[in-house]
Chain A
Amino acid sequence: MTPRPKNRRSLAAAPHMVWAILFIVAPLIFVAVYAFRGQNGGFSFENFAALGDYTDAFVRSASYSLIATVICLVIGYPLAYAISLASPKAQRVLIMMVMLPMWINFLIRTYAIMKLLEDTGFVNSVLQKIFGEEVTLHMINTPGAVIFGMVYDYLPYMVLPIFTVLSKIDPKLGEAASDLGCSKIQTLFRVTLPLSVSGVVSGITMVFVPSISTFYISQKLGGGQYLLIGDAIERAFGNPEKYSVGAAMSFVLMLIVLVSTAIMNRFDRDNAKGGVVV
């Protein structure tokens, strides 16, 4: 009876496992520790009770990011579809051009939008040159501007996964569908769309998560008036006395993200297995 040999190769993962425990798991434990630690040091929910003051910020973050995600989907899906119709060479260029803004820091992108949308910004100055001096479209410092910022910053995250899935769909499927009597539009809705659900799902997750947790966008485009939960967290962590409340906010944010991701993934898996016939 020889002992089973040790699996030495899997030991290569050991440094990473140590690292992950120290710098991924432990920090998250500290979020929980700070969130559940009362002022007297014991276990308490008082930090969560204090979150009542931030209800508005939570609700606002949730609704802005939901709207932004839906807009991204509505704009992004046709774009991804249009790109997938192009010739392979054009596809490469177009996709590169979608990715390019992603490589520019989002601070810069947001700042550029601010400069565009201001009452005295580029858009208005162009409008004024066309329609006369007194025309001013008030865009900056409105919820719309904040949502526009989210859409602008995160649109590529919607387009890329959808395009990846669309480009992998066997073109013969479309032929088969039209052979069976589908019109182009029907093919889109009955074959292409259901097949690209996994791309849509990951697109939604990739837009929703950064949108709901963003800060800075609302500072620049909302004039600091439409405080989002990300801003509230950032603010809290500027002040050591508020670490606990900030940790509680982060904890709740993490839960929201976790639950919504889990729901989305589940939806994806359902479809991968069964397939919804639309």
Chain B
Amino acid sequence: MTKKARAPLLSKVYTFFIYFLLYLPIAVMILFSFNDSKSMTNFTGFSLRWYKELFVNGKAFEALKYSLIIALLSAIVATLIGTMAAYGIHYMRKKALRRAVTSVTNIPMMNPDIVTGISMLLLFAFIQLILGLQHSLLGFGTLLIAHITFNLPYVILSVLPKLRQMDPSLSEAALDLGCTPVKAFLKVELPAILPGVLSGAVMAFTLSLDDFVISNFTIGNSFQTLPILIYSMTKREVTPDMNAICSIVFVVIFILLLLSNLSGGENRDRSAFSEKLRRHKKGIAIAVAGVLTAVTAGIVVLFLLVPPRTEKVLNVYNWGEYISDGSDDSLDTVKAFEEWYYEEYGERVKVNYTTYASNEDLYNKMSSGAAEYDVIFPSDYMLAKLRDEGYLAPLDYSEIPNYENIYDEFKGLFYDPDERYSVPYTYGVIGLIYNGAKVDEADVTGWELVQNEAYRDKILQIDNPRDAFGIAMYALGIDVNTTDPAEWDRALQFLSDQKPIVQSYVMDEVYNKMESGEAYVAPYYAGDFLFMYENNEDLAFYQPEATNFFIDAMCIPANPTRDDETYLIANRFINYMLSEEPAVANAEMICYASPNRTVVENEEYQEYMADIHEDAMEILYPEDVDFREEYGKYCFRGLDKDTDKYMNGLWDKLKNTTTEEKTDITNYIALGLLVLIVAALVFFAIRKKRRERYYTEKAVAKV
């Protein structure tokens, strides 16, 4: 008796333990979504500020709106086509044909999502190529197609069993009683398979709502769904409003599941389910109608919340966190531009604002024609490259009178000597950001800090080839614009030597890792240092002798399909960003140095920066440095194609090769497991054979 009682207890303990692990991350996330501070480790007090942030920001709701629309549309279309398909497959007489159709249908389910995603990307890319289109096809349409495609097998698979369960004479009975085949389907077969159709539709809806991988390759740049937004948010600095979104999503799903469980009962038990469905027909109908109305109402509300698209859309593509966006009571310069434009010109303009994480991302998007942008913010060397390859349109400086606000020393630099294509937005310098509480000041002497063994696993490296190689080259005293492969190889050696002690390669994740104390040393931009310093006052900045000076500038990409008015608006957008109020707001938000005199000479701005860090102005605008001279010496220039390719090759090599010190023992574990599994299978197979032979021999002997 005791023995019997013990086994369930053990299993209860075990179950509890696994559930605890399963829910711990989620619980922590929900808990800290109510945290007063940014920290994810110390709960400093209850607050709803991150939820408020979410509402103020509006981005999440816009993304949610698109997610719902895509999910609803794709679920409806997939349910229609899929139900018809299941019906057709069910009545297919040729077995070979039926098998062929079902196996093709199952491909998106069997294939890794990433393969499905890239295969569709290639299809759309190829169509674009064939049609000779300038711009990419990726957008709402392609995303919808992709979602319908991966939803179809799930709908078909949930309808087919219902058709098989259905008494085949049902439709015959209907025909017999005078129905035409179509009527027989609608009046008799459809009601019989309805539970399957509905669960297929619900499955399609949720899968579509949840999908990230396939969307990632087929969405393009014109809008974001919720998972895509979350991805881009976790890629950059992660703010706790992420926790807030996730908590909301979790709670909503939890309630939905609970409801469906209460009303639907055990779905697995089909007959019981349909029995219930029949009994509670009214209840279910009301529930379904309720959910549908709720979703529709939700969409309507979201449409009201998020202002509808106006006539003119300006596509602005900027770095992440590189503009004043209204958070912390700052000026939302994009929104301010829209309002200003309406007041000034009496026309509504909608700015479609999207972001990228690196110059290379920007370049890839531009060269693939993946989206049409009207204003972009490339760095100097990338600007030169884009200009040389004909991706830029000249600006109309007559529409940019505020250009005179820019200091002369930032005009006519190498990337735009004739001042035709660009207006400087920010400039800055890369230095070493380090944690003063953990790093010995004596070690902070220059770039060699990034190779200091004492800080193993606490060092970050920039996750983009140009900057990472740049750091190696400054450390080694090599000209960063060299075309000599041997010099690049030396730089690679520097990075390979460093790799074993690097914690991770990061772009915008650097904020989180440095602010939280997760990492101690990171080469990054001076402006970002100030940004981080606001959240962690242990951080300090060191500017080595030789380092990268850069300028990010505003440009208008060449786009033959753009109309004159949009071009005009783009110029006016640039002009607006140069005017005092938005320029100051941006400079305060980004913390990078501004080439704009109305900013630098603005006292309020100076005070604001001093508030952040007492030496802020000195760090950003060092008096003893002649910018133009240093810039000429150390800036990145456009690399020629061969060197660029060579560098990227080296970078891939660096990232993909396991350094000796970090050789995974996992490979050996996996190998061991594999051997074990194969051995076990062989053992069982042999034993089975032997037993079979034994008893067949016996049987033969008997005969």
Contacts and interface: CB of A to CB of B under 8 A. Distances in A.
* Chains A and B come from one and the same complex: yes
Interface of A: 7-17, 19-21, 23-28, 30-31, 33-34, 53-54, 56-57, 59-60, 62-64, 66-67, 70, 75, 78-79, 81-83, 85, 88, 92, 94, 96-101, 103-109, 111-113, 115-116, 118-122, 124-125, 138, 140-141, 143, 147, 152, 155, 164, 167, 184, 209-210, 212-213, 215-216, 220, 222-227, 230, 232-234, 237-240, 243, 246-247, 250, 253-254, 257-258, 261, 267, 274, 276-278
A4 B104 CA distance: 28
Contacts of A152: 21-22, 25
B673 A250 contact: no
Contact of A59 (B114, B206, B667): B667
B88 A118 contact: no
Contacts of A96: 257-258, 261
Contacts of B113: 210, 213
A247 B18 CA distance: 39
Contacts of B271: none
Contacts of B261: 92, 96
B46 to A, nearest CB: 17
Contacts of A138: 457
A206 to B, nearest CB: 10
B647 interface: no
Interface stretch (B116-124, B344-352, B579-587): B116-124
A254 B266 CA distance: 35
Contacts of A16: 81-82, 84-85, 88, 101, 105, 152, 156
Contacts of A258: 110
Contacts of B115: 31, 213, 250, 253-254, 257
A101 B18 CA distance: 13
A19 B149 contact: yes
A254 B112 contact: yes
B11 to A, nearest CB: 4
Most chain-B Cβ atoms within 10 A of its Cβ — which of A17, A108, A122, A258?
A108
A105 B249 contact: yes
17 contacts: A19-B148, A24-B108, A25-B107, A31-B122, A78-B14, A82-B12, A88-B266, A99-B257, A112-B246, A115-B29, A118-B518, A143-B665, A222-B504, A239-B360, A254-B111, A254-B112, A276-B684
B112 A63 contact: no
Contacts of B658: 56, 60
Interface residues of B, number: 116
Given A103-B210, A141-B503, A13 B88 contact: yes
Contact of B119 (A27, A59, A97, A240): A27
B696 interface: no
Contacts of B29: 108, 112, 115
A250 B87 contact: no
Interface in B90-132: 91-93, 101, 104-105, 107-108, 110-116, 118-123, 125-126
Main secondary structure of the interface of A (DSSP, over half): helix
Contact of A111 (B242, B360, B653): B242
Contact of B217 (A63, A83, A88, A237): A237
B691 interface: yes
B149 A24 contact: yes
A135 B242 CA distance: 29
A41 to B, nearest CB: 12
A224 B364 contact: no
Interface in B24-57: 24-26, 28-29, 32, 40-42
B354 to A, nearest CB: 15
A56 B499 CA distance: 15
Interface stretch (B226-234, B329-337, B603-611): B226-234
B669 A67 contact: yes
B110 A9 contact: no
A165 to B, nearest CB: 11
Contact of B227 (A17, A107, A239): A107
Contacts of B550: none
A69 B592 CA distance: 47
Interface of B: 7-8, 11-12, 14-15, 18-19, 21-26, 28-29, 32, 40-42, 81-82, 84-85, 87-89, 91-93, 101, 104-105, 107-108, 110-116, 118-123, 125-126, 145-146, 148-149, 152, 156, 181, 206, 210, 212-213, 216-217, 226-227, 230-231, 234, 238, 242, 246, 249-250, 253-254, 257-258, 261, 266, 268, 360-361, 364, 367-368, 457, 463, 499, 502-506, 516-518, 652-653, 655-658, 662, 664-667, 669-671, 673-674, 681, 684, 688, 691
Most chain-A Cβ atoms within 10 A of its Cβ — which of B21, B101, B114, B250?
B114
Contact of A274 (B206, B662, B688): B688
Given A60-B667, A79-B18, A116-B25, A14 B88 contact: yes
B455 to A, nearest CB: 13
Contacts of A115: 25, 28-29, 32, 40
Contacts of B254: 100
A261 B32 CA distance: 41
A63 B664 contact: yes
A62 B25 contact: no
B85 A15 contact: yes
B8 A85 contact: yes
A121 B40 CA distance: 7
A13 B84 contact: yes
A250 to B, nearest CB: 5
A82 B16 CA distance: 10
A7 B89 contact: no
Given A115-B40, A120-B516, A212 B669 contact: no
B246 A120 contact: no
Nearest to B507: A224
A9 B82 contact: no
A69 B261 CA distance: 29
Given A9-B87, A30-B119, A101-B23, A257 B110 contact: yes
B662 A225 contact: yes
Given A16-B105, A120-B518, A224-B463, A125 B41 contact: yes
A9 B91 contact: yes
B656 A56 contact: yes
A33 B331 CA distance: 50
Nearest to B83: A12
Most chain-B Cβ atoms within 10 A of its Cβ — which of A17, A54, A62, A278?
A17
Contacts of A53: 652-653, 656-657
A66 B674 contact: yes
Contacts of A20: 101, 104-105, 152
B40 A278 contact: no
A13 B667 contact: no
A106 B114 CA distance: 14
B678 to A, nearest CB: 11
B227 A105 contact: yes
